[in-house]
Homo-oligomer: A and B are copies of this chain.
Amino acid sequence: MLLPAIEIPQEGSRKDILSAAAQCFMDRGYTETSIDDVARRLGATKGRVYHHFASKADLFAAIFRTGLEMDYAAIAPHRHAPGPAVARLRSMAVAHCRQIIVSRPYQRVVWQGVQMLLRGTTNPELRNELGLLNDGRDGYERIFRDELERARVEGALRFDNLSLAVSLMFVTLNSPVFWYAPRAGETEADIDRLVFQVVTHAMRGLGSTED
Contact = CB atoms under 8 A, between A and B. Distances in A.
Q: Please give the count of copies of this chain that the complex contains.
A: 2
A28 to B, nearest CB: 6
Given A172-B171, A205-B172, A197 B27 contact: no
B179 A175 contact: no
Interface residues of A, number: 32
Contacts of A178: 115, 118, 171
Q: Which of A27, A164, A201 has the most CB of B within 10 A?
A: A201
Nearest to A208: B204
A84 B64 CA distance: 46
Interface of A: 26-29, 31-32, 115, 118-121, 159-161, 164-165, 167-168, 171-172, 175, 178-179, 194, 197-198, 201-202, 204-207
